[in-house]
Amino acid sequence: MSPAFSMQPTSATSARLVGRIDVANAAQALAAGKQIPANGNFELDLEHLESADSVTLAVLLAWSAAASRSQCRLVYRGMSDRLRAIARLGDATGMLGTSDTAPVQGT
């Protein structure tokens, strides 16, 4: 059974991610990205994600790419140090819209 994941709307232009995005539920997470509007600005709060790994990053990158293609400016807030570090290791930080640019500990 895959761990719970949900994208919970907090307003017309924002939502919060809750639970975990992992191999078992990546397809569900990708499909949840359809809630992101086709244009304008949209903010996703990552503070309540329970884990961060390369699968999590891959889903966020897929959402960012889809948003970009549909003229939506997608911003991630509350990104954990771990997820930020994984994005840096994969040279993917430029592909993610993040509002918090705190340095990764130990770098």
Q: What digits encode the pLDDT tens for the residues 38-92?
A: 889 999 999 999 989 999 999 999 999 999 999 999 999 999 999 999 999 988 9
DSSP letter for each residue of 54-100: HHHHHHHHHHHHHHHHTTEEEEEES--HHHHHHHHHTT-GGGS-BS-
Average pLDDT, the chain: 87
Predicted confidence (pLDDT) at residue 101 exceeds the cutoff of 60: no
Q: What digits encode the pLDDT tens for the residues 7-43?
A: 999 999 999 999 999 999 999 999 999 999 988 999 9
Beta pairing partners, 2: none
Domains along the sequence of the chain with CATH: 5-95 (3.30.750.24)
Predicted confidence (pLDDT) at residue 105 exceeds the cutoff of 50: no
State the pLDDT confidence band at 3, using cuts at 50, 70 and 90. Answer: low
Distance separating alpha carbons of residues 79 and 84, to the nearest angstrom: 6
pTM of the model: 0.86
